[in-house]
């Protein structure tokens, strides 16, 4: 979960500057959140659907945030 | 006595501390975070606020700033260091104080006058207080929930490194009198040499009866000695 | 790109307005120009529906240095000290994204104040939510409160007072009004009027992103069910950067580098550049390729309409550029010369040397449309409520119901989330009639309060308008302050609806009459129309923020009882007006009837009397009587102390409910030490001020003779229950 591309990310901005000041060069950094979710569901498609629901109903603030689902 | 208040971008209790120090007759100087050396000083104060917006973690970015290397050097040479609120958080990020400050248990910012109890009054910071004296001091933080590992906690207790504990009006320390979920109601701690004090409550807010009370005065007058 | 009807409509402009634009330009606008007209001509920037009514408000006075029309109002409090303050709404953004909406509301109003050279010293807010039972209310409340706290706490300005109300009229359209108060040296105030040709126009602060593009237009359009889809326009606040901007601006303001300065608020770069040029009778030329951008490939249209936060536009004096640049560099902020002032009286926009837009400044400002919209007068309700026919209810039960109701509950769940003490000048924190802030390094202070009474305003706008001004005045008087001036935030529904426009016109008439009578001028404010969804408009909710002066803080006073065996006096006459009272609302769900009458002469006399008694140190505590009537006001005085009160049964009044719960105006409760009683009574009699001795304080118990007795602890518990259980 990260802030949408067009949305200002004040935290990312400060972290980026600090890393640069510490001599570590980088092009861009976006701050986000990460959840590990374990399901009973074994079907990949169904599981993704459930997770998607969780994201859109609660975990993600769709107004300002984007999300990606990865299988571990 | 000469003092230096370190100013980070986002510090916001720097002026408040400076006013308190001046009122208590310290000779104070403000030190901007980009400086690479400290003026001659007997006490360094790291004030409260939201250094760098408290982005990433409270105190994390300030803990990597230029002036902090100088503060660490001075502290290791025995200079007195006082970290209040965000200053306490910064001190834990630098490693000068062990442990960390987690988010308040209720997940909310808390601004209230709370009671704290003086646990060790045999230090340069607390000598003017009585042992177990109950103070009423303002807290204002999001992350004041002190946590540390078992070994360090044992050290804190055995070596008298706990400065203050949250309590109620009668001095009882329990869950009800713990505003933020701190381990054993800890509100402030010393390092092992007791030349560094980190505390979440704001003594600089308690030096004027018009505004609050004068329960913070003795912390500063202890240091003057 | 051809300008189609649809594009025009999407810019919130009607056909007439578009024709007007063609006439003013003597040609068709391009898309960039259309966007700029749309931003400048919408309700939020142009005040097109409200202007003719706003003009009637009294804006001048002995203490007024600057009235409406600048970033904020300025008043003189003596000794070269000036207070700069304003209130503003951020209703629509807060409904869509409560945390960021409220946070950027606070950020925006702070910039209005420090743009003028003031260090902000206090924040206040007035927030209105829908019914607590409505599914959205809880998360909106949580989001708004953390947003307000998140911004104010981080930037380090105390949030000291406010009001939080619930009413189903706000179910789909909450109100978030934020007020900022700052202190400046009277001879160091900065204005937005540009002067001189060829001066550098400097952009400082954060970079420009695609935030809030068309935000100002959004704030001027009613919500519909698709409003959630307008979400991408919500801005994100960055209080840390604002703190840097605040310190950098104040540092630059120490000398005379700045000719004019303006915050980039609603309609960002557009309104800030146009307003500065317009006030100075100048033109302005911008080189848009120089605008610091956060995103790639931003178009001139996006740059001109972006509402990214934490940005300012400055017109600098010659040869001051390097020094100014150094200051902003020190604070890690962008500092770029993006244009210059001209004598053309045109806004000229160039992008890589190509002219992308050219508009006469006056077409955007002084020639913006002004509407005299139709409005209907609202008569006093004729529905008589027969109190005697209501089901009998025990006084104690009715009282407890009110004390534990959402609208009357103790708000420390909210105020504990705000840093009220930072800056160490807060003499009186929230929870009192007004907060008191000391002027740094001095022994004087200001008192501040925000108030609204939407129910009264809905029932009879003219009376409601008067009432809020009076209530705000009383709140300042009750802490011993001399009320000096107000700012207002006028939250109303759709002005194209004649009834709503009537509510607006009449509330304003009421505000005007009260302000004139009390010599309490309006120095700044904001209008927020189109609050409502799908043709359902909110109750008219003008919010008044007042500032008063306490010339010595040696003895500040609040409403908490100070001792036992003292006397409680009520100043002002009790008639027992129960219509529109919270007694009927909470206990019988009756919302009908008329609001209590306002007698401005009594208001003034009673208030001045209380002020005089406080100044002579004859009053231990004081409290104004408002919602809930006498009994609730008494409880509020007792609840946070160890003292109680014994109220004697009055000899004259027949109906006890009316006496205790009536919301007659112009009344104060004062606690008087026994030894001063005779003196106070003599003064009151000599000055012909109506008063009654209603009882005495005592330890521990709150008692109404022959009706109820309970411990003040129980009252406290009852009052503190609701938020913690919600």
What is the tens place of the pLDDT at every residue in C405-440? 999 999 999 999 999 999 999 999 998 999 999 999
Torsion angle of C-alpha atoms C558, C559, C561, C565, degrees rounded to 10 = 100
Calculate how close chain C gets to B116, using CA atoms only, in Å.
Answer: 18
pLDDT at C210 > cutoff 90: no
In this complex, which chains have at least 3 CB pairs below 8 Å with chain A?
B, C
- Of the candidates A4, A6, A10, the beta carbon closest to that of C241 is on A10
pLDDT at C453 > cutoff 50: yes
Cα gap B139→C416, rounded to integer Å: 10
What's the confidence (pLDDT) of residue C44? 87
What's the confidence (pLDDT) of residue A13? 87
Q: Which residues of A touch C235 (CB under 8 A)?
A: 8
Cβ neighbourhood burial of C387 (10 Å; 0-12, 13-18, 19+): middle
Q: For residue C251, what are the CA distances in angstroms to C331, C404, C463, C490, C685?
A: 10, 48, 46, 34, 55
Q: What is the pLDDT of residues C19-38, one digit of tens each?
A: 999 999 999 999 999 999 99
Chain A residue with CA closest to C240: the answer is: A10
Confidence of residue C229 (pLDDT cuts 50, 70, 90): very low
Are C222 and C494 spatial neighbours (Cβ–Cβ below 8 Å)?
yes
Q: Which residues of B touch C239 (CB under 8 A)?
A: 50, 53
Whether B204 is catalytic: yes
Calculate how close chain A gets to B62, using CA atoms only, in Å.
Answer: 9
User: Phi then psi for C601, rounded to 5 degrees?
Assistant: -65, -45
Mutate to test the interface with A, among B36, B56, B67, B93 (most CBs of A within 10 A): B56
Chain A residue with CA closest to C236: the answer is: A8
Q: Is C640 on the interface with B (CB under 8 A)?
A: no
What's the confidence (pLDDT) of residue C223? 52
Confidence of residue C230 (pLDDT cuts 50, 70, 90): very low
Q: Is B110 on the interface with C (CB under 8 A)?
A: yes
Are C510 and C461 spatial neighbours (Cβ–Cβ below 8 Å)?
yes
Give the closest residue to C148 by CA, choosing from C263, C239, C249, C266.
C239
What's the confidence (pLDDT) of residue C216? 45
Cα gap C293→C416, rounded to integer Å: 38
Cα gap C288→C273, rounded to integer Å: 12
pLDDT at C652 > cutoff 80: no
Does C421 contact B208 at a Cβ distance shorter than 8 Å? no
> Position of tokens 């709140």?
C475
Helices (H) and strands (E) in chain C, counts: 26, 28
Does B10 contact C332 at a Cβ distance shorter than 8 Å? no
Average pLDDT (C339-345) is 96
pLDDT above 70 covers a percentage of chain C that reads 97
Residues of chain A with pLDDT under 70: none
- Of the candidates A11, A21, A22, the beta carbon closest to that of B55 is on A11
Q: Which of B13, B85, B93, B141 is flagged as catalytic?
A: B85
Q: Is A10 on the interface with B (CB under 8 A)?
A: yes
Cα gap C340→C355, rounded to integer Å: 15
Task: Report how far Cα C250 is from the mean position of its chain's Cα atoms.
Answer: 24
DSSP per-residue letters across C85-126: EEEEE-HHHHHHSHHHHHHHHHHHHHHHHHTTTPEEEEEEEE
pLDDT at C1 > cutoff 70: no
With b meaning 16 or more CB within 10 Å and e meaning fewer, what string describes B108-125? bbbbebbbbbbbbbebeb
- Of the candidates C149, C156, C438, the beta carbon closest to that of B49 is on C156
What's the confidence (pLDDT) of residue B56? 85
Q: What is the pLDDT of residues C561-620, one digit of tens each?
A: 999 999 999 999 999 999 999 999 999 999 989 999 999 999 999 999 999 999 999 999
Q: Is A58 on the interface with C (CB under 8 A)?
A: no
What pTM, to 2 d.p., does this model score? 0.94
Domain B2-224 -> CATH class: alpha beta
Average pLDDT (B12-17) is 97
Cα gap B56→A12, rounded to integer Å: 8
What's the confidence (pLDDT) of residue B72? 96
Sign of CA dihedral A56, A57, A58, A62: positive
Domain A2-66 CATH assignment equals 3.30.1370.60: no
Q: Is C236 on the interface with A (CB under 8 A)?
A: yes
Average pLDDT (C534-560) is 92
Cα gap B53→A31, rounded to integer Å: 14
User: Phi then psi for B118, rounded to 5 degrees?
Assistant: -80, 115
Q: Is A21 on the interface with B (CB under 8 A)?
A: yes
Q: Across the beta sheet with B27-32, what order do the strands follow?
A: B27-32, B2-7, B43-46, B80-84, B196-199, B186-190, B162-167, B110-118, B134-141
Cα gap C233→C449, rounded to integer Å: 32
Does B53 contact A14 at a Cβ distance shorter than 8 Å? yes
- Of the candidates A6, A13, A17, the beta carbon closest to that of C295 is on A6
Cα gap B214→B137, rounded to integer Å: 9
Are C230 and C216 spatial neighbours (Cβ–Cβ below 8 Å)?
no
pLDDT at C651 > cutoff 90: no
* ipTM of the complex, rounded to two decimals: 0.96
The pLDDT mean for chain B works out to 96
Calculate how close chain A gets to C90, using CA atoms only, in Å.
Answer: 17
The pLDDT mean for chain C works out to 93
Q: Which residues contact C360 (CB under 8 A, 6 or more apart)?
A: C24, C25, C345, C346, C347
Q: Which residues of A touch C211 (CB under 8 A)?
A: 6-8
pLDDT at C231 > cutoff 60: no
In this complex, which chains have at least 3 CB pairs below 8 Å with chain B?
A, C
Cα gap C576→C591, rounded to integer Å: 17
**What 3-state DSSP class applies to C707?**
coil
In this complex, which chains have at least 3 CB pairs below 8 Å with chain C?
A, B
Give the closest residue to C167 by CA, choosing from C454, C452, C390, C436.
C454
Q: What is the pLDDT of residues C270-317, one digit of tens each?
A: 999 999 999 999 999 999 999 999 888 889 999 999 999 999 999 999
Does B53 contact A10 at a Cβ distance shorter than 8 Å? yes
Q: Which residues of B touch C154 (CB under 8 A)?
A: 10, 12, 50, 53-54
Q: For residue B72, what are the CA distances in angstroms to B39, B77, B148, B196?
A: 14, 9, 21, 11
Q: Which residues contact A22 (CB under 8 A, 6 or more apart)?
A: B64
What's the confidence (pLDDT) of residue B167? 98
Q: Is C393 on the interface with B (CB under 8 A)?
A: no
Cα gap A9→A60, rounded to integer Å: 16
Calculate how close chain A gets to C467, using CA atoms only, in Å.
Answer: 39
Q: Which residues of C touch B16 (CB under 8 A)?
A: 422-424
pLDDT at B205 > cutoff 80: yes
Give the closest residue to C202 by CA, choosing from C294, C273, C268, C140.
C273
- Of the candidates C236, C295, C308, the beta carbon closest to that of A64 is on C236
Average pLDDT (B48-70) is 91
DSSP per-residue letters across C404-417: TSTTTS--HHHHTT
pLDDT at C57 > cutoff 90: yes
Cα gap C206→C228, rounded to integer Å: 27
Q: What is the pLDDT of residues B18-47, one digit of tens each?
A: 999 999 999 999 999 999 999 999 999 999
Asked which of B62-66, B148-152, C117-121, C554-558 is least confident by mean pLDDT, the reply is C554-558
What's the confidence (pLDDT) of residue B99? 95
Q: Is A22 on the interface with B (CB under 8 A)?
A: yes
Q: Which residues of B touch C415 (CB under 8 A)?
A: 111
Q: Which of C90, C92, C128, C623 is flagged as catalytic?
A: C90
Count of other CB atoms within 10 angstroms of residue B82: 27
Identify the DSSP state of C221.
S
Average pLDDT (C531-544) is 92
Q: Which residues contact C129 (CB under 8 A, 6 or more apart)?
A: C137, C140, C141, C144, C164, C165, C166, C167, C170, C174
Cα gap C482→C63, rounded to integer Å: 12
Please report which helix (H) or strand (E) contains residue B4, including its range.
strand B2-7
Give the closest residue to C173 by CA, choosing from C491, C400, C590.
C491
Confidence of residue C219 (pLDDT cuts 50, 70, 90): very low
Confidence of residue C265 (pLDDT cuts 50, 70, 90): confident
Q: Which residues of C touch A62 (CB under 8 A)?
A: 231
Chain C residue with CA closest to A12: the answer is: C238
Does A10 contact B64 at a Cβ distance shorter than 8 Å? no
- Of the candidates B15, B53, B202, the beta carbon closest to that of C240 is on B53
Q: Which of C11, C44, C92, C460 is flagged as catalytic?
A: C44
Chain B residue with CA closest to A11: the answer is: B55
Mutate to test the interface with C, among A29, A63, A65, A66 (most CBs of C within 10 A): A63
CB pairs B-C closer than 8 Å: 84
Chain A residue with CA closest to B34: the answer is: A21
Does C332 contact B9 at a Cβ distance shorter than 8 Å? yes
What's the confidence (pLDDT) of residue C222? 55
What's the confidence (pLDDT) of residue C309? 92
Does A15 contact B56 at a Cβ distance shorter than 8 Å? yes
pLDDT at C545 > cutoff 50: yes
Task: Report how far Cα C539 is from the mean position of its chain's Cα atoms.
Answer: 16
pLDDT above 90 covers a percentage of chain C that reads 87
Q: Is B150 on the interface with C (CB under 8 A)?
A: no
Q: Which residues of A touch C206 (CB under 8 A)?
A: 8
Calculate how close chain A gets to C117, using CA atoms only, in Å.
Answer: 26
pLDDT at B166 > cutoff 50: yes
Q: Is A15 on the interface with B (CB under 8 A)?
A: yes
pLDDT at C215 > cutoff 70: no
Average pLDDT (B115-133) is 97
Q: Which residues of C touch B10 (CB under 8 A)?
A: 154, 240, 243-244
Whether C90 is catalytic: yes
């Amino acid at each position: 979960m990260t802030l949408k591309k067009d949305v200002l990310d004040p935290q990312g901005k400060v972290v980026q500057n600090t890393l640069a000041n510490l001599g570590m060069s980088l092009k861009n950094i976006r701050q986000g959140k990460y959840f590990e979710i374990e399901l009973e569901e074994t079907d990949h498609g169904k599981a993704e659907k459930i997770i998607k629901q969780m994201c859109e109903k609660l975990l993600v603030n769709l107004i300002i945030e984007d999300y990606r689902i990865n299988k571990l | 006595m000469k003092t230096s208040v370190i100013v980070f971008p986002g510090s916001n209790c720097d002026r408040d501390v400076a006013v308190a120090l001046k009122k208590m007759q310290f000779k104070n100087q403000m030190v901007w975070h980009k400086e690479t050396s400290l003026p001659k000083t007997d006490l360094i104060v790291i004030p409260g606020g939201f250094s760098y917006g408290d982005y990433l973690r409270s105190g994390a970015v300030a803990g990597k700033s230029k002036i902090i290397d100088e503060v660490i050097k001075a502290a290791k040479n025995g200079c007195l260091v006082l970290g209040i609120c965000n200053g306490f958080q910064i001190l834990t990020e630098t490693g000068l104080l062990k442990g960390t400050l987690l988010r308040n248990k209720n997940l909310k910012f808390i601004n209230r006058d709370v009671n704290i109890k003086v646990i060790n009054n045999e230090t340069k910071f607390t000598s003017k207080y009585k042992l177990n004296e109950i103070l009423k001091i303002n807290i204002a933080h999001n992350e004041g929930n002190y946590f540390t590992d078992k070994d360090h906690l044992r050290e804190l207790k055995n070596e008298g490194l706990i400065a203050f504990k949250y309590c109620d009006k009668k001095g009882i320390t329990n869950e009800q009198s713990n505003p933020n979920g701190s381990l054993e109601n800890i509100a402030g701690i010393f390092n092992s040499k007791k030349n560094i004090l980190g505390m979440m409550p704001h003594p600089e807010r308690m030096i004027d009866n018009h505004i609050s009370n004068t329960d913070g005065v003795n912390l500063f007058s202890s240091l003057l000695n | 790109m051809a300008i189609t009807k649809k594009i025009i409509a999407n810019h919130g402009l009607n056909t007439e307005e578009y024709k007007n634009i063609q006439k003013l330009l003597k040609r068709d606008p391009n898309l960039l120009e259309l966007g700029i007209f749309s931003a400048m001509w919408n309700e939020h920037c142009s005040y097109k529906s409200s202007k003719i009514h706003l003009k009637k408000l009294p804006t001048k006075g002995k203490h007024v240095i600057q009235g409406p029309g600048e970033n904020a109002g300025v008043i003189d409090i003596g000794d070269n000290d000036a207070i700069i303050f304003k209130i503003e709404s951020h209703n629509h953004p807060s409904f869509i994204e409560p945390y960021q909406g409220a946070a950027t509301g606070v950020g925006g109003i702070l910039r209005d104040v420090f743009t003028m050279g003031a260090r902000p010293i206090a924040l206040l807010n007035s927030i209105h939510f829908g019914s607590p039972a409505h599914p959205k209310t809880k998360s909106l409340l949580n989001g708004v409160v953390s947003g307000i706290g998140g911004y104010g706490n981080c930037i380090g300005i105390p949030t000291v007072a406010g009001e939080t109300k619930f009413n189903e009229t706000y179910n789909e359209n909450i109100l978030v009004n934020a007020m900022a108060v700052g202190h400046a040296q009277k001879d160091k105030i900065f204005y937005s009027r540009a002067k001189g040709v060829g001066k550098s126009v400097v952009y400082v602060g954060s970079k420009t992103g695609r935030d809030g593009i068309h935000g100002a237009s959004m704030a001027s359009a009613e919500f519909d069910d698709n409003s959630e889809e307008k979400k991408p326009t919500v801005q994100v606040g960055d209080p840390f950067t604002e703190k840097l901007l605040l310190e950098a601006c104040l540092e630059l303001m120490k000398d005379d580098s700045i000719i004019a300065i303006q915050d980039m608020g609603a309609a960002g770069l557009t309104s800030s550049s146009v307003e500065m040029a317009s006030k100075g009778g100048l033109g302005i030329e911008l080189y848009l390729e120089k605008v610091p951008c956060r995103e790639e490939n931003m178009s001139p249209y996006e740059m001109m309409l972006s509402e990214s936060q934490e940005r300012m536009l400055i017109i600098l004096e010659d040869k001051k550029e390097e020094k100014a640049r150094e200051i902003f560099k020190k604070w890690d902020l962008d500092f770029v010369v993006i244009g210059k002032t001209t004598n053309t009286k045109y806004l000229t926009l160039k992008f890589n040397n190509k002219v992308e837009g050219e508009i006469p400044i006056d077409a955007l400002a002084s020639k913006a449309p002004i509407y005299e919209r139709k409005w209907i007068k609202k008569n006093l309700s004729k529905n008589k409520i027969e109190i005697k026919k209501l089901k009998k209810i025990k006084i104690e039960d009715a009282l407890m119901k009110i004390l534990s109701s959402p609208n009357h509950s103790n708000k420390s769940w909210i105020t504990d989330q705000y840093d009220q003490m930072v800056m160490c000048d807060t003499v009186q924190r929230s929870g009192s009639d007004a907060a008191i802030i000391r002027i740094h390094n001095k022994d004087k202070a200001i008192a501040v309060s925000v108030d609204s009474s939407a129910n009264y305003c809905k029932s009879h706008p003219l009376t409601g308008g008067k009432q809020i001004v009076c209530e705000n005045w009383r709140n300042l008087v009750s802490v011993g302050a001399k009320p000096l001036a107000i700012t207002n935030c006028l939250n109303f529904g759709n002005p194209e609806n004649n009834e709503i426009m009537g509510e607006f016109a009449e509330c304003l008439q009421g505000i005007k009459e009260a302000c004139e009578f009390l010599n309490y001028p309006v120095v700044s404010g904001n209008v927020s129309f189109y609050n409502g969804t799908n043709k359902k408009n909110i109750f008219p909710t003008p919010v008044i923020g007042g500032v008063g002066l306490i010339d010595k803080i040696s003895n500040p006073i609040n409403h908490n009882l100070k001792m036992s065996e003292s006397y409680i006096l009520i100043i002002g006459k009790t008639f027992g007006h129960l219509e529109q009272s919270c007694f009927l609302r909470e206990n019988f769900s009756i919302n009908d009837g008329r609001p209590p009458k306002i007698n401005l002469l009594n208001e003034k006399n009673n208030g001045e009397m209380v002020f005089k008694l406080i100044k002579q140190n004859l009053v231990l505590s004081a409290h104004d009587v408002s919602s809930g009537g006498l009994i609730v006001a008494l409880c509020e005085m007792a609840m946070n102390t160890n003292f109680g009160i014994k109220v004697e049964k009055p000899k004259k009044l027949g109906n006890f409910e009316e006496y205790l719960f009536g919301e007659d105006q112009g009344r104060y409760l004062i606690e008087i030490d026994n030894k001063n009683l005779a003196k106070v009574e003599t003064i009151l009699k000599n000055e012909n001020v109506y008063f009654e001795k209603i009882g005495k304080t005592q330890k521990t118990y709150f008692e109404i003779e022959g009706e109820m007795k309970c411990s003040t602890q129980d009252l406290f518990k009852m009052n503190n229950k609701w938020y913690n259980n919600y």
